[in-house]
Amino acid sequence: MVKSKILSSAEERYCYAQDAANLRNEPNLPDAVVFVETIEEVQSIVKYANSHKIPIISRGAGTNMVGACTCTQGGIVLNFSRMNKIVDFNTENMTMKVQPGVILDDIKKLAESKGLFYPPDPSSYKVSTIGGSIAQSSGGAKTFKYGTTKDYILSLTVVLADGTLMKLGSGTVKDAVGYHLNQLIIGSEGTLAIVVEAELKLIPLPDCSILVSAYFDTIESAIMGVNDIIKNRIFPSTIDFMDKNAINSVEQFYPCGLQTDKSCMLLIEVDGFKKFAEFESGMIQDILKVSGASYINVAEDETAKENIWTARRSSFAATAKLGLDVVSDDVIVPRNALLRMINGCIDICNKFNLKLCLVGHIGDGNLHPQIALNLENDEEFKSYMSAKSEIYKLALSLGGTISSEHGVGIEKLSYIEQTVGAEVLEQMKRIKLLFDPNNILNPGKIFNL
């Protein structure tokens, strides 16, 4: 293999010791990093690794927040950044075939240039890859109306642990022939197979979208507003949330005109044909006034809209500036338990004296508690671990779960049994061993064997 494709010095490998999860003292160095360029290369490396029982860790942009592409057992990192071609774009069938290293933003832009739409939009979409999104089953703000990555995969071409190449799914919009193995690969965090090509479903691009920002003096009235919108049979494309601390931290570090004196804000976007979107946006404003919104703003143009969304997407980076480190979690509860979950997160973080900025895709019941702290401070770390356990316990007690879109990685591995139960976990382990008997594909992620 050409030398320029391989990184092997300690300094170079050190760059791959972390991903966007902030982890403490993990021995994460890979033995080598390979910039793969073809499917055949992936096959031959995996075949070799399997016969020598060497771990293989696939890596996209490394933006996952659960340590899913860290190298806790050493091994070879397959860097997919050079497998970044759009292989086929069929506007008639509304499909796009892509290599795993393609950045989501490139997929979106190309689709949009032909009046088509790829909706999944993790806040990291300007840098994260389709391979990583498939492996984490990424969601994002538009999940409320459009679903997650799993809803836009028509077929996957994968390399199995022994190097075998396999196409899963027919590529047609519907397919009822046997088990949906491609859906099993989605969300499997690179532990079952390596995605080397994906065929995506696209949909027509909405004619226009309108973004309503609504501020509230209490969280109760914001939640009431969300429920009232849905009760009125309006189906926004996004219903996102920022609490006072999140609003203030964004304004402090990336000022963009958010109202810092309010308790929280909702970002509600509707889309469709212009007249229809205008009608819905008007209804939403009326409903939110009744539920107690104290300030409402409608973004007047694309620039204003992008400004608000950039503020929301900057929240993680802004929280990071409040401490030496930042961690972001990802719990979800049924919508009728949201208020208890939000208040619970705030109470728990107050109890442990942790700086919390709370954001989330709350139309889905999904919250991202972002905590600024110093991970190397033993006391703070202990408080954080206790708070995290209590937050998970609360989410489970309210009928929710501990991850809705970030995945498990190594970050939540010790909570998986209490979340899914021993029998389900056992079944997952059987499936893993069926696909990967030598446990070389991203070992030690999701669960330990």
Ligand X SMILES: Cc1cc2nc3c(=O)[nH]c(=O)nc-3n(C[C@H](O)[C@H](O)[C@H](O)COP(=O)(O)OP(=O)(O)OC[C@H]3O[C@@H](n4cnc5c(N)ncnc54)[C@H](O)[C@@H]3O)c2cc1C
Told to check if 129 binds ligand X by CB under 6 A, we report yes
Nearer to ligand X, 58 or 221 (CB): 58
Contacting residue, 16, 215, 309, 316, with ligand X by CB under 6 A: 316
> Strand, coil or helix: what is 96?
strand
x/- map, 402-421, ligand X, by CB under 6 A = ---xx---------------
Q: Among the candidate windows 127-135, 170-178, 207-215, 423-431, which touches ligand X by CB under 6 A?
A: 127-135
Task: Write the DSSP string, 348-382.
Answer: HHHHTT-EEEEEEEGGGTEEEEEEEE-TTSHHHHH
Contacting residue, 30, 35, 187, 189, with ligand X by CB under 6 A: 189
Told to check if 60 binds ligand X by CB under 6 A, we report yes
Told to check if 108 binds ligand X by CB under 6 A, we report no
- Which of 67, 6, 66, 11 minimizes the C-alpha distance to 34? 6
Q: Among the candidate windows 29-37, 133-141, 299-307, 410-418, which touches ligand X by CB under 6 A?
A: 133-141
- Which of 68, 17, 55 minimizes the C-alpha distance to 408? 68
State how far the Cα of 269 lies from the Cα of 95, in Å rounded to an integer.
Answer: 25
Contacting residue, 7, 34, 46, 61, with ligand X by CB under 6 A: 61
Told to check if 75 binds ligand X by CB under 6 A, we report no
Told to check if 57 binds ligand X by CB under 6 A, we report yes
State how far the Cα of 19 lies from the Cα of 35, in Å rounded to an integer.
Answer: 17
Nearer to ligand X, 139 or 400 (CB): 139
State how far the Cα of 49 lies from the Cα of 124, in Å rounded to an integer.
Answer: 31
Told to check if 370 binds ligand X by CB under 6 A, we report no
Told to check if 123 binds ligand X by CB under 6 A, we report yes
Told to check if 69 binds ligand X by CB under 6 A, we report yes
Told to check if 100 binds ligand X by CB under 6 A, we report yes
> Strand, coil or helix: what is 406?
coil
State how far the Cα of 415 lies from the Cα of 388, in Å rounded to an integer.
Answer: 10
State how far the Cα of 70 lies from the Cα of 73, in Å rounded to an integer.
Answer: 9
Told to check if 58 binds ligand X by CB under 6 A, we report yes
State the DSSP code for 372: E
Number of residues that bind ligand X (CB under 6 A): 36
What is the number of other CB atoms lying within 10 angstroms of the CB of residue 81? 17
What is the number of other CB atoms lying within 10 angstroms of the CB of residue 164? 12
Contacting residue, 135, 160, 267, 391, with ligand X by CB under 6 A: 135
Joined together, the tokens standing for residue 395 give: 């989410």
Told to check if 128 binds ligand X by CB under 6 A, we report yes
Angle, to 10 degrees, between the axis of helix 274-291 and the axis of helix 219-231?
Answer: 140
Joined together, the tokens standing for residue 274 give: 């212009």
Told to check if 365 binds ligand X by CB under 6 A, we report no
Nearer to ligand X, 46 or 94 (CB): 46
Told to check if 363 binds ligand X by CB under 6 A, we report no
Joined together, the tokens standing for residue 218 give: 């209490």
Told to check if 195 binds ligand X by CB under 6 A, we report yes
Amino acid at the residue 252: Q
State the residues that interact with ligand X by CB under 6 A: 19-20, 57-65, 68-69, 80, 100, 122-124, 128-129, 131-133, 135-136, 138-140, 189-190, 194-195, 316, 405-406, 442
